[in-house]
Amino acid sequence: MKNKETVLVTGGSGFIASYCMIALLNNGYQVKATLRSLKKADLVKQMLSEGGINNFDNLSFAEADLENESSWEKAVEGCQYVIHVASPTPYTNATTEDDFVIPAKNGVLFVLRAAKKAGVKRVVLTSAFGAVGMGTVKTKPYTEADWTVLNDTVAPYQRSKTISEKAAWDFIASEGAGMELAVVNPTGVLGPVLSNDFSHSIQSIRQMLNGEMKACPKIISAYVDVRDVADLHFKAMTLPQANGQRFIAAAGEGYSLIDIAKVLKKNLGEKAAKVPTAELPSWLIKLLSIFNPKLKAVAPYLGMVKRASSEKAINLLGWKPRSTDEAILATANSLIKLGIVK
């Protein structure tokens, strides 16, 4: 079945983007994926194959860069929808805040302007829970009504996500007449990896299985399976009631790192031999972080409790996420299968 409609998916080599492309191709859409360099096209096909796609007739590629506005007009030509996933991630070589914020915000505006000019019906923006629940302390779960408060506690990546999402809503209000926008705000993204390129939430599971994490810092956050994140993007693109809305993607309200470790220990037997069983006191990590740059990156999150509610996506769009346990185990099994952990 061949759908006449074409969807532009930006940042096509990324973890969430590849699963969005799998969902679109499985539903008969034409997909045009943007890459900073077309040299990555074969890698993307390899990742999609790992995700079960074996026919690439409905897939094409376009070269585009978040820092080059003119590249987007050509990329979005002939597209009815845009799923804008591309954004500078926490693992780029960005060093200053501007390295994150400027390309993220400009990239969103470049894509929206080009989409408007090309007559695109709806844009789905991949934002993040980082635009919802940072800079504040809440005992209740965060919802879509919450916005990150940009104070000194907010990391550059989360700041970039907040500023770029606000810029998108402002653009739609002031210049977007006739074009629709929906936003997805994923919590920590887990799920089966397709290559060595995966979300930063998966690093903690990799570190546990590899024995690099000797004990768990006290951090509680919500998680979600990447396949469900892609499904939510698909629903946000196709369902009329998604227009003008933001949706948190979370499988449950929250898990601590020691909860994740327990799931691995309980289900993976010998493969989880190196997974830690103890939780580290926060004061100790803070002390050690003076000497250890890796721990220094963790220190601001210690004791953090970030619970999130996905009731809106479940009730309004009929979204049904997998459980957090299932997402954790799918992640671990794929890391083992691809030889990323021994």
Give me 86's structure tokens: 């591309």
Angle 41-50/15-26 helices, nearest 10 degrees? Answer: 70
DSSP secondary structure string for all residues of 245-266: -EEEE-SSS-EEHHHHHHHHHH
Is residue 306 annotated as a catalytic residue, yes or no? Answer: no
Asked if 120 and 80 count as a contact pair (C-beta separation under 8 A), the reply is yes
C-alpha to C-alpha distance for 161 and 242, rounded to whole angstroms: 20
Residue 341 and residue 64: Cα distance in Å, rounded?
33
Provide CB contacts within 8 A for 227, sequence distance 6+: 19, 191, 192, 322
Distance CA 148, CA 159 (A): 8
Structure tokens given for 243: 């227009």
Note whether 219 and 304 are within 8 A (CB).
yes
Please pick, among 32, 105, 161, 306, the residue that the annotation labels catalytic. Answer: 161
Q: Which two tokens stand for residue 161?
A: 């996500």
At residue 296, φ and ψ (nearest 5 deg) are -60, -35
Q: Provide the token pair at 50.
A: 């790992």
Annotated catalytic residues are 161
